[in-house]
Amino acid sequence: MEQDIERVLISEEVLHEKVAEVGRQITKDFEGKEPVFVGVLKGCYIFMADLLREIKINCSVDFMAVSSYNGTNSTGAVKINKDLSSDICGKDVIIVEDILDSGVTLNYLKNYLLVRQPASVSIVTLMDKPARRKADVYADYSCFEIPDEFVVGYGLDYNEKYRNVPYIGVLKREIYS
Ligand code: IMP
Ligand code: MG
């Protein structure tokens, strides 16, 4: 497994420190509100678990599952595989995403959620690859800006593998080429 990783991009220690910092910021910004965190499965699951333990206000949690990706190349098409299980009308929604790449997925999701008339929709992403952006979408909270490299670990996969790697690593090129 770890022999397929070229190098560590973000260590466990740095991940935990930064995620805690962003959690404190969100806690401050949403003081007096009761946001609903909407995780985008599956990539969000470890980030979301760590982030939510740093949120010190009342909140709720929901999930969506979308597919837009085959291997390392976005197909551009977004399909909803699992929708919300709660009503978000009038609520402050915070979308939790693993990585903002072309932005196609988040742009679609944000517009999809806005139709249900939430009070607000914010985006928190673990990583942002601004060099790859195609859609006009921005993260309100981004833990790490990273270069245009394919990364795995801490919930992120390549063809469903490597989600259990505890840090963010750059995958060896021969694995996906
Ligand atoms: P977007 O629609 O192009 O922004 O794609 C976002 C989704 O693509 C993310 O939620 C990830 O699931 C996947 N993705 C993009 N870049 C990477 C990467 O470097 N490693 C693993 N998954 C990625
Ligand atoms: Mg994802």
41 CA from centroid of ligand 2 (Å):
6
User: Taking all residues of the chain, what is their mean pLDDT, rounded to a whole number?
Assistant: 94
Contact by Cβ (8 Å): 8, 73? no
Protein residue closest via CA to atom 23 of ligand 1 = 99
13 CA from centroid of ligand 2 (Å):
22
Ligand 1 atom nearest 134 alpha carbon: 3
Tokens representing 164? 């259990």
pLDDT tens digit string along 106-149?
Answer: 999 999 999 999 999 999 999 999 998 999 999 999 999 999 99
Nearest ligand for residue 176 CA: 1
pLDDT tens digit string along 1-28?
Answer: 889 999 999 999 999 999 999 999 999 9
176 CA from centroid of ligand 1 (Å):
14
CA neighbours within 13 Å on the CB side: how many for 112?
17
CA neighbours within 13 Å on the CB side: how many for 36?
20
Instruction: Give residue 123's identity as a one-letter amino acid code.
Output: I
Nearest ligand for residue 78 CA: 1
pLDDT tens digit string along 61-94?
Answer: 999 999 875 555 555 678 899 999 999 999 999 9
pLDDT tens digit string along 142-153?
Answer: 999 999 999 999
In the β-sheet with 151-152, what is the strand arrangement from edge to edge?
5-10, 168-171, 151-152
Measure the CA–CA gap between 169 and 156, rounded to whole angstroms: 10
